[in-house]
Structure 1
Amino acid sequence: MVQPAPRAHIGIGDTTVTYLPDGHGWLNPAVLFPASSPDGWATHAEFLNAEGRFPVSIGSFLIRTAGRVILVDLGLGAVDFAVPDVATFKGGELLNALAAEGLTPDDVDTVVYTHLHHDHVGWTSDLAPAPNAPAGQTVTGLTFKGARHLVSEAEWRHWSGTAELVGPDPIAVQTPLADRIAFVADGEEIAPGVRILSTPGHTPGHSSLLVTDPAGGDNRRLVILGDVMHCQVQVTESHWTFAFDFDPDQSIATRERLLKELEDGNTILAGGHFAGSVFGQVLPPAARRAWAGMLSVG
């Protein structure tokens, strides 16, 4: 069966996009994909382990372009916990993965959040929240102290003052970012060749990112999905919503819109939760739409 994805990279002109693993999760498909069924999963059995769980990769995408160093999402942080009958999660490798690229947190100039669920904000500060974390821990600072921290305004407003299990912890995330967070809008260019795409549904202010070659020599494009999809299975089973989708109908509409736009053979998808390979392409439907994973390429 497929395993959580390893480090991998794609080159778009002189721009590089590298997947940096932080950890992984093993999820109960019946709980997390409530519209799925055992018969439906039978056609995707390679994604299930002996216990019937499916793996999700969890990490960050490093974008290097025109001298800029950007991280998209910040993984789980150093945690190891289980939600009984739902999932297990383990993280903590992001800074090691960053160091393997010859970089330190001080080298990162921008952090972009696709959204603020717990598995995308874990390295925001030096406290990684988890259900089994000892009480009384305090935050002493942001992990990426010199970086701009960006998110859509709708996403920030949605979570402001909340303390839901899947959302950003008020102590570890919301308070440290309160006077540092800046807002980005649909279509905004945050670095040469890197633009925000509004993709709501999973959360109200969810964003994806479009990466192109700012020099124009490479006509391919890459889309960092965020949680528009949690598993390659959703390329085919696009009607399978995720249990924590804020607006399931909107999440389906957003996913379908993107999938139709990305069947051009010229677009690479980067799915941060995809197992096996986070990079791949959508093959246009013959009998049904399919996913084709990609190894690291320049």
Structure 2
Amino acid sequence: MSAVHPIETVFIPDGDVRARPADLFPGTTAEQWRAHGDLVDATGRLVFAVGAFLLRAKGYLALVDLGLGEVHIDTPAGASYRGGGLIGNLAAAGVTPDAVDLVVFTHLHRDHVGWTSTGGALTFANARHVVHRAEWEHWHRNPSPLGPDPATVLEPLRETVEFCADGAEIADGLHVIETPGHTPGHISLAAGPRTVIAGDVLHSPAQLRHPHWCFGSDTDPARAAASRGRLLREYGPDVLACGHFT
């Protein structure tokens, strides 16, 4: 039997997203969110971290998701989007872009693909780039402002992207778990025996108490809730690594 090597998993921030809770979780009320006051800022907006998980394993360095990129946006509805810190924070962790061997996308929403390319070329030029085939095909058939920008994401990846499926071992100790619902090809990743990177199966710690609360951009809320229930049943909150939790 081959040895199981540990995978160190560290969150690398890129920025954050802030918005009113009811705008992000349709059907929830201000009264319900009063029980989660520790999750909001001084203006009453939920705060979501945005960034990437850095995986250090024997033989490779991997990133799961790529943050927002150089973004500074305020919307008329009172939301804010701030990104741009990922590369500097990787450098602080001793990692340069050319040292990354693997990039895995849990899905292709804008806040997960922001550093895919820089100046028209892949930012992590030496890395394999992996996504679920259903995710890739969905955004080609259904372009949307929520999805990947064709010029900065889809086009730079076109010749090099690799596809994965449920149960696949992408790298030593790193396995795919299909968790559709937030998007059609959303995946989570088992990184060794004690960590599961959940992606956007969970957006807020409030969903640990209210797993039926669905996010506004879920393409299929019922499937998203089913995927969330599955991860919580099979792995539990002590194992799940959630990139949007602050």
Q: Decide: shared fold, TM above 0.5.
A: yes
Tell me if 1:36 matches 2:16.
no
Amino acid at match of 2:116: T
* Corresponding position of 2:227: 254
Q: Aligned residues, how many? A: 243
- Residue 252 of structure 1 aligns to a residue in which SS? helix
Tell me if 1:149 matches 2:129.
yes
**Counterpart contact for 2:121–2:156, Cα < 8 Å:** yes
Residues 75-154 of structure 1: matches in 2 within 5 Å?
A: 75-85=67-77, 87-126=79-118, 139-154=119-134
Structure 1 distance, partners of 2:109, 2:73, is 16
* Corresponding position of 1:134: none
**Counterpart contact for 1:224–1:270, Cα < 8 Å:** yes
Residue 84 of structure 1, CA deviation = 2.0
- Residue 122 of structure 2 aligns to a residue in which SS? coil
| Worse overlay, 116-125 or 36-45 | 36-45
Large movers: runs of 4+ above 4 Å: none
For normalisation by structure 1, the TM-score amounts to: 0.79
For structure 2, list consecutive stretches of 5 or more residues without a partner in the other structure: none
Residues 1:92 and 1:188: Cα distance change in structure 2 (over 3 Å): same
RMSD: 1.5
* Corresponding position of 2:17: 25
Identity rate, percent: 47
Residues 154-165 of structure 1: matches in 2 within 5 Å?
A: 154-160=134-140, 162-165=142-145
**Counterpart contact for 1:32–1:86, Cα < 8 Å:** no
| Worse overlay, 12-21 or 100-109 | 12-21
For structure 1, list consecutive stretches of 5 or more residues without a partner in the other structure: 1-11, 127-138, 213-219, 276-298
Q: 1:198 aligns with which of 178, 186, 205?
A: 178
Tell me if 1:209 matches 2:182.
no
Higher helix share: 2
Structure 2 distance, partners of 1:65, 1:200, is 27
Structure 2 distance, partners of 1:251, 1:86, is 26
Tell me if 1:240 matches 2:232.
no
Structure 2 distance, partners of 1:50, 1:62, is 30
Amino acid at match of 1:125: S
Residue by residue over 1:91-141, the C-alpha shift from the partner in whole angstroms, topping out at 9 and shown as x without a partner, is 101111111121111000110000000000000001xxxxxxxxxxxx431
Residue 13 of structure 1, CA deviation = 6.2
Residue 162 of structure 1, CA deviation = 4.4
